[in-house]
Amino acid sequence: MYQGKVGFRIFNTDRYPDKKKVEELSKYPTPNIADAMGRFRVMDPGMKCVTKGKVIAGPALTVMARPGDNLMPHKAIEIAKPGDVIVINTCGNTNSAVWGELMTYAATKQGIAGLVVDGAVRDSKEINEIGFPVFARNVVASGCDKDGPGEINCAISCGGVVVNPGDIVIASEEGIVVVPLDDAEEVLNATIAVHNRESARIKEIEEGKVIKDDINTILRSKGVI
């Protein structure tokens, strides 16, 4: 069910991941999670960490915003649940900040876990002082209109990745990954396996085995050695 008309809608959703799975995934580096998903569902490197040293982990509340407009991002703050991550597609606009200091204060009051926006924000100094985790493509001084249209809780593209409401977003300075809600348990198990393999490899290196056997096996198969 939804309110509004095509292009100007707010969808209702009950798609939420298990909190324990979110907590477990957040313990692992985003590169481990990326490897666990075949190195897919990783946002492009143009998406930067605005609030240095911060990590985001939580279910996506998705927003499609018209370029140069942040009516729906404002509404998203109101309807977000504590722990949600607001994920915004600005349709390629990086010249108008869709988010700033006042919205950051409001989001903090709501208990929102963080913001990922394929677009611009402003007031980065104040955002860092508040300590609210923000990842964005750009920082710019100019702001937005509040007219719409836009949609909330729809499928969007952000950083080159499809994001659906309730998908798990994990963001760190290493990058941003999106774990599809339906795949959360499988990805968590695969992430643990990746992390354990890396830990075992570190032990091998410490014990003197600096190169894995399969490196030379591959080189031999290609006639290099």
pLDDT of residue 147: 96
Q: Is the pLDDT of residue 47 over 80?
A: yes
Range of the domain at 13: 2-196
Structure confidence at residue 4 as a pLDDT band (50, 70, 90): confident
Neighbours of 164 (CB within 10 A): 18
The overall average pLDDT reported for the chain is 97
- What global pTM score does this model have? 0.94
- Residue 6 in domain: yes
Q: How many domains does the chain have?
A: 1
- Residue 224 in domain: no
- Residue 38 in domain: yes
Q: Is the pLDDT of residue 3 over 80?
A: no
- The proportion of the chain whose per-residue pLDDT surpasses 90, expressed as a percent, equals 98
pLDDT of residue 73: 98
We report the CATH number of the domain holding residue 23 as 3.50.30.40
- Residue 203 in domain: no
Looking at residues 207-221, what average pLDDT do you find?
A: 94
Q: Is the pLDDT of residue 71 over 80?
A: yes
Q: Is the pLDDT of residue 1 over 70?
A: no
> pLDDT tens for residues 138-158?
999 999 999 999 999 999 999
Looking at residues 193-204, what average pLDDT do you find?
A: 96
pLDDT of residue 197: 96
- Residue 214 in domain: no
> pLDDT tens for residues 87-96?
999 999 999 9
